[in-house]
């Protein structure tokens, strides 16, 4: 990940520059490798870089030959080589960065440029000739992005990767909506991402094709191995991260084998061939290393044992870290500062991920693959057992995917970026989403004899394919869902509740702050997190926060353990 701060139509941009650089510094944790800035007329772009692709030449902001276009990007464009090859007009690329292709795309397609991108991204582009700024965010909102305005500089518009870069200079801030493009010529946000599944009333009827589903996820993982730096996988031991790790390990081993057999010239030719072939596939692995996997939990956590079993099965170099409840409690204020939310579920799950990311970065790894998105796509949360019918099941999966930028994407992006680590999420690949969200929800529903997320489990079950090596041990492939905040150890959530009980009195619960309006915390834990959020951010930042709540459930606690299905499953196993 990288960090962006930008402002367009500022009344005195030269005078504002020191402030802009200070705002950029607030997100330097996202991009500790280099800092850059660009001023053109009344616009300033700043960039804090984490170098993953084009390491030696990709410093930003990027500019074209006559400096009439300037660009700051946070993210990864996985199809950049394909796009370079298919440009209608030759463009003089100055770097090997995957991000530079946005400039010639804009030159050809204008504000339709983001429609052609396959990746995760937030970017701001300045067009001198039109005195115009165009900004865009990826379809699902994997990268964090905000838009702000200030009553002291009417007419100016501000952009930043995180709230902490905007609230000192803006008093009106929104989360930049995923799948949208902003055009300063109209001062409007327009949706560019309009897949078939976006309308929840358009319920798909296509039956599941297990092999298509499998191959689609494999392709999504392959393209996300595009890197020139050490990478790894987050391996909780649950289904989603284990599948990602399994596919990544297969691809890594395949490329290692190819490198052993080929000469240097053959390797270069093969990379070019696979890099842009007739099917527009990407050659993704550019570093031939042993795959590292990482997990974290309290001592004796359910996920840790499962992760170690998966790692042994796959042959990854596994690192199982532990933390204590006290470690987590000590980090809470910092976690909320980096997350920029007070949602209970997000904070519970993000704290171990935040601690793990610090350990991973200390080992020299800069990019990891993670399993976010699967539960939303396939109805993996245990409350989906209560879905009344296929239409409601589909409607809820669409709602969940649309809100990922406020929950699991926010967690994955900001927990890792806090330490200059980049997380990539294959389940949220555009093509995979089109495939998986286009499946008849009747096939996804949890019925007698069918565990949650059955179809993705079945897609990777090779028991009837003797020529295919198993992807995972059967007990992992059909392991019941554990939410990450539960899987790291049940005493983690219990410890949070106990600490909140000590910090928040009954009297405080009866007298919430007036500035909270109708957004009143309903538990002491939620109240505690909101007070910590208020220590870092002014009240108007709360408008960017959404609290995670399950549907078809009367539970007040969002933990998976609070759902009877979880208890029944584990009680029967004892």
| Residues 146/405, Cβ–Cβ less than 8 Å | no
CA geometry: angle 496, 497, 498, nearest 5 deg: 90
129-133 contacts at long range (C-beta below 8 A, 24 or more positions apart): 129/68, 130/185, 131/41, 131/42, 132/183, 132/184, 132/185, 133/6, 133/8, 133/43, 133/157, 133/182, 133/184
- Cα 542 from Cα 442, distance rounded (Å): 37
**CA end-to-end span of the chain:** 43
What 3-state DSSP class applies to 342? coil
Residue 109: Cβ within 10 Å count: 13
- Cα 127 from Cα 371, distance rounded (Å): 37
> Please, what sign has the CA dihedral across residues 492, 495, 501, 504?
negative
- Cα 281 from Cα 362, distance rounded (Å): 33
Paired with 176 in beta bridges are none
- Cα 124 from Cα 75, distance rounded (Å): 12
Place of tokens 């930049």: 176
Paired with 73 in beta bridges are 123
Mapping DSSP onto H, E and C, the string for 154-185 reads CCCEEEECCHHHCCCCCCEEEECCCCEEEECC
CA geometry: angle 476, 119, 111, nearest 5 deg: 150
Shortest CA distance to 566 belongs to which of 313, 315, 329, 381? Answer: 381
Shortest CA distance to 158 belongs to which of 28, 276, 20? Answer: 20
- Cα 386 from Cα 283, distance rounded (Å): 42
- Name the helix (H) or strand (E) containing 455: helix 454-459
Dump the DSSP string for 465-479. Answer: -TTS--SS-HHHHTP
Residue 206: Cβ within 10 Å count: 11
Task: List phi, psi (to 5°) of 429.
Answer: -60, 140
For residue 61, whether the previous peptide bond is cis, meaning omega lies within 30 degrees of 0, is yes
| Residues 487/298, Cβ–Cβ less than 8 Å | no
> Please, what sign has the CA dihedral across residues 495, 345, 409, 251?
positive
Residues with catalytic function: 2
């Amino acid at each position: 990940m990288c960090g962006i701060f930008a402002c367009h139509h500022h009344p005195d941009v030269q005078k504002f520059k020191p402030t802009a650089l200070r705002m950029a510094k607030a997100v330097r944790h996202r991009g500790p490798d280099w800092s850059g800035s660009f001023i053109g007329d009344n616009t300033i772009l700043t960039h804090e870089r984490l170098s993953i692709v084009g390491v030696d030449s990709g410093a930003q902001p990027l500019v074209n030959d006559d400096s009439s276009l300037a660009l700051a990007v946070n993210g990864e464009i996985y199809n950049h080589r394909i796009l370079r090859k298919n440009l209608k007009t030759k463009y003089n690329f100055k770097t090997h960065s995957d991000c530079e292709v946005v400039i010639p795309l804009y030159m050809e397609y204008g504000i339709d440029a983001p429609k052609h991108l396959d990746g995760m991204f937030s970017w701001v582009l300045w067009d001198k000739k039109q005195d115009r700024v165009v900004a865009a965010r990826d379809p699902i909102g994997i990268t964090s992005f905000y838009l702000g305005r200030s009553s002291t500089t009417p007419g100016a518009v501000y952009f930043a990767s995180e709230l902490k870069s905007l609230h000192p200079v803006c008093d009106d801030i929104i989360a930049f909506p995923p799948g949208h493009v902003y055009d300063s010529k109209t001062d409007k946000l327009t949706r560019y991402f309009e897949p078939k599944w976006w309308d929840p009333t358009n319920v798909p009827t296509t039956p599941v094709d297990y092999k298509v589903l499998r191959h689609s996820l494999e392709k999504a993982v392959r393209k996300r191995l595009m890197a020139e730096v050490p990478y790894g996988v987050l391996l909780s031991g649950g289904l989603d991260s284990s599948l990602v790790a399994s596919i990544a390990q297969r691809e890594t081993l395949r490329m290692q084998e190819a490198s052993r057999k080929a000469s240097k010239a053959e390797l270069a030719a093969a990379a070019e061939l696979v890099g842009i072939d007739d099917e527009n596939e990407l050659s993704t692995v550019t570093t031939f290393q042993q795959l590292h996997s990482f997990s974290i939990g309290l001592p004796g956590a359910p996920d840790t044992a499962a992760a170690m079993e998966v790692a042994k099965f796959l042959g990854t170099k596994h690192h199982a870290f532990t933390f204590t409840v006290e470690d987590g409690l000590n980090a809470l204020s910092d976690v909320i500062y980096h997350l920029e939310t007070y949602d209970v579920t997000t904070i519970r799950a993000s704290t171990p991920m935040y601690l793990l990311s610090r350990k991973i970065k200390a080992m020299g790894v800069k990019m990891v693959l993670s399993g976010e998105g699967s539960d939303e796509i396939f109805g993996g949360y245990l409350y989906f057992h209560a879905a009344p019918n296929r239409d409601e099941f589909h409607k809820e999966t669409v709602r969940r995917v649309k809100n990922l930028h406020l929950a699991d994407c926010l967690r994955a992006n900001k927990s890792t970026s806090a330490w200059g680590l980049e997380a990539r999420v294959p389940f949220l690949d555009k093509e995979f989403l089109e495939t998986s969200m286009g499946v008849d929800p009747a096939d996804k529903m949890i019925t007698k004899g069918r565990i949650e997320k059955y179809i993705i489990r079945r897609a990777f079950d090779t028991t009837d394919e003797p020529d295919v090596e198993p992807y995972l041990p059967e007990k992992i492939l059909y392991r019941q869902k554990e939410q990450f905040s539960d899987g790291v150890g049940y005493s983690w959530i219990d410890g949070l509740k106990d600490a909140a009980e000590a910090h928040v009195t009954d009297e405080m619960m009866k007298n919430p702050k007036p500035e909270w309006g109708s957004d009143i915390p309903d538990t002491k834990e939620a109240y505690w997190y909101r007070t910590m959020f208020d220590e870092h951010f002014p009240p108007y930042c709360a408008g960017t926060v959404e609290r995670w709540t399950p549907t078809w459930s009367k539970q007040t606690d969002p933990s998976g353990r609070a759902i009877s299905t979880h208890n029944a499953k584990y009680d029967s196993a004892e």
